[in-house]
C-alpha cells in the first residue's frame, strides 16, 4: 500500500469519511480549514494515528502550515519523515 | 440466546464501581476499558460486547478505574500505582464473588494495566502510554486549553510521567487482536473502524459480531 493509500485509510477511519470521499482525496484536496470533520480536536487523533500506523514521531513544532493544508502536503510530510 | 438483562452494580477498592453482566458460574471475564476520552468513545461498544458475551454464558465484569467513569475520586489525586492496584483488586473481587479467576480483556490503554489482573489476557488494539500522552497533549494544544488540564482531564505530574513510560507487559499468556488497518504485530486481525478515535460515540455491528466470536472462543478455550 502506498503512503497515500495508508493516509486515505487513516483519514477515513479517524474522520468517519465514507469510502468514496476517502478514495477521492488527491494531492490538491484541501484539509484543515476546508474539511468540516477535521477540526482542531480531530487533528490530535489524526496525528497520533499517523504516528502509530506509519511508525513515525511528529514533534509539536512540526504541526501546522503546509503539512495540514492539503492531502499532498500531508503525504509529503510523512514521506519526508520516513526518508522515502 | 438469553434475554439481555440489566447489569448488576458492585463496589470494589473502597467504593469504586464495577458492573457485571451474565452468569456468575462458568468462565468470567474482567474487561479493562480504554483510558481517558477513548473510554467514553468506546462505552457503547463495550457495553454491547458485555451483553453479547453474557448471552453466550460468559460472565463479564466492567470496573470503572478510580478517577474515571462513575468514580467519586478526582483524577488529579491519583497515581499510576493506584490504577494498577485497582485492577488487581477488581480481579480479586471477581474471584471472591464467583470462585473463578477471571480471564482479562484489555482494550487500548487497558492493556497497560492488565498484567496486574491475571495471566490469561486478550488485548484489543493495545497502545503505549507515550501515544496516549501525545493525544492528551495535542488535544489540549488544539483546544487552546492548558496542557496540564487537557480536554478536562487533569492528570497529576506523577501519573503523566508513569503513563509516558508505560508499555503493555509481555509476561503471561497473551493474545493480541488488532484492526486490519493496523500492521503492528498481532495474533489475529479484525475488520473495523477505530471507534476510540471517533468524537461521537459510534457502534460498528460487523466489528462487534466478529469481536464477540473471537472473544467467546478464546474465553471458552
The residues, ordered by sequence, that sit 6+ positions from B152 with a Cβ below 8 Å of its Cβ are none
Instruction: State the pLDDT at residue A41.
Output: 79
CB pairs under 8 A between A and B: 50
Residue A71 has pLDDT above 90, yes or no: yes
Helix intervals (H) in chain B: 37-55, 80-98, 129-143, 157-165, 205-220
Average pLDDT over residues B170-198: 93
Instruction: Provide the CB-side half-sphere exposure for A70 (13 A, CA).
Output: 8
Closest residue in B to A1 (Cα) is B181
Show me where the domains of chain B are located. 8-128+169-215
Cα(B71)–Cα(B65) distance, rounded to whole angstroms? 7
How far, in Å, CA of B60 to CA of B27, rounded?
9
Residue whose entry in the numeric block shows the C-alpha cell 490538491? A28
Q: What is the pLDDT of residues B109-162, one digit of tens each?
A: 999 999 999 999 999 999 999 999 998 888 877 666 665 555 567 788 899 999
How distant is the Cα of A28 from the closest Cα of chain B, in angstroms? 24
**CB-based contact B151 A41, cutoff 8 Å:** yes
Of the candidates B127, B131, B197, the beta carbon closest to that of A13 is on B197
- What confidence category does residue B1 fall into, taking pLDDT thresholds of 50, 70 and 90? very low
Best probe of the B interface among A44, A49, A52, A61, by most B CBs < 10 A, is A44
Task: Select the residue from B41, B185, B194, B203 to test the A interface by mutation, using most A Cβ atoms within 10 A.
Answer: B194
The answer to whether the CB atoms of B135 and A14 lie below 8 A apart is no
pLDDT of res. B4: 52
Q: Which residue of B has its CA nearest to A63?
A: B138
Higher per-residue pLDDT: B5 or B155 = B155
Q: Which whole number is the average pLDDT over B155-181? A: 94
Query: Rounded to the nearest 10 degrees, how much is the dihedral formed by the CA atoms of B94, B104, B119, B195?
Result: -150
Chain-wide mean pLDDT for chain B? Answer: 91
* pLDDT of the residue at B160: 92
Chain A partners within 8 Å of B151 (Cβ): 41
Domain A3-82: give its CATH code: 1.10.1200.10
- Top-level CATH class of B8-128+169-215? alpha beta
For the residues B161-181, what does the mean pLDDT come to? Answer: 95
Query: How far apart, in Å, are the Cα atoms of B126 and each of A31, B11, B34, B112?
Result: 29, 27, 9, 8
- The per-residue pLDDT for range A28-44, each reduced to its tens digit, is 999 998 998 888 778 88
Is the Cβ pair B151, A52 closer than 8 Å?
Answer: no
Residue of A nearest to B38 (CA): A45
* Interatomic CA distance for residues B209 and B102, integer angstroms: 22
Q: Is a pLDDT exceeding 80 seen at residue B201? A: no
Structure confidence at residue A81 (pLDDT): 92
How much is the pLDDT for B152? 62
Domain boundaries, chain A: 3-82
| Min Cα–Cα distance to chain A from B9, Å | 33
User: Looking at CA atoms only, how far is residue B157 from chain A in angstroms?
Assistant: 19
Amino acid at each position: 500500500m502506498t503512503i497515500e493509500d495508508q493516509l486515505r485509510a487513516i483519514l477515513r477511519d479517524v474522520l468517519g469519511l465514507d469510502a468514496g470521499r476517502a478514495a477521492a482525496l488527491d494531492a490538491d484536496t484541501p484539509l484543515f480549514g476546508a474539511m468540516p470533520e477535521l477540526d482542531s480536536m480531530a487533528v490530535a487523533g489524526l496525528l497520533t494515528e499517523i504516528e502509530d500506523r506509519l511508525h513515525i514521531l511528529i514533534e509539536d513544532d512540526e504541526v501546522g502550515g503546509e503539512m495540514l493544508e492539503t492531502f499532498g502536503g500531508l503525504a509529503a510530510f510523512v514521506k519526508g519523515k520516513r526518508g522515502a | 440466546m438469553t434475554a439481555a438483562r440489566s447489569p448488576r452494580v458492585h463496589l470494589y477498592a473502597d467504593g469504586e464501581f464495577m458492573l457485571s453482566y451474565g452468569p456468575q458460574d462458568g468462565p468470567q471475564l474482567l474487561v479493562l476499558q480504554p483510558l481517558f476520552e477513548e473510554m467514553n468513545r468506546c462505552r457503547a461498544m463495550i457495553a454491547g460486547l458485555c451483553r453479547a458475551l453474557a448471552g453466550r454464558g460468559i460472565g463479564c465484569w466492567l470496573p470503572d478505574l478510580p478517577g474515571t467513569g462513575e468514580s467519586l475520586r478526582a483524577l488529579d489525586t491519583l497515581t499510576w500505582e493506584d490504577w494498577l492496584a485497582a485492577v488487581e483488586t477488581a480481579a480479586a473481587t471477581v474471584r471472591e464473588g464467583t470462585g473463578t479467576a477471571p480471564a482479562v480483556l484489555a482494550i487500548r490503554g487497558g492493556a497497560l494495566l492488565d498484567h496486574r489482573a491475571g495471566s490469561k489476557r486478550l488485548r484489543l488494539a493495545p497502545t503505549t502510554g507515550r501515544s496516549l500522552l501525545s493525544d492528551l497533549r495535542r488535544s489540549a494544544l488544539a483546544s487552546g486549553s492548558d496542557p496540564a488540564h487537557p480536554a478536562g482531564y487533569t492528570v497529576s505530574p506523577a501519573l503523566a510521567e508513569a503513563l509516558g513510560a508505560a508499555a503493555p507487559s509481555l509476561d503471561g499468556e497473551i493474545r493480541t487482536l488488532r484492526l486490519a488497518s493496523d500492521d503492528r504485530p498481532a495474533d489475529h486481525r479484525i475488520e473495523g473502524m477505530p471507534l476510540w478515535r471517533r468524537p461521537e460515540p459510534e457502534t460498528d455491528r460487523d466489528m462487534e459480531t466478529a469481536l464477540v466470536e473471537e472473544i467467546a472462543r478464546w474465553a471458552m478455550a
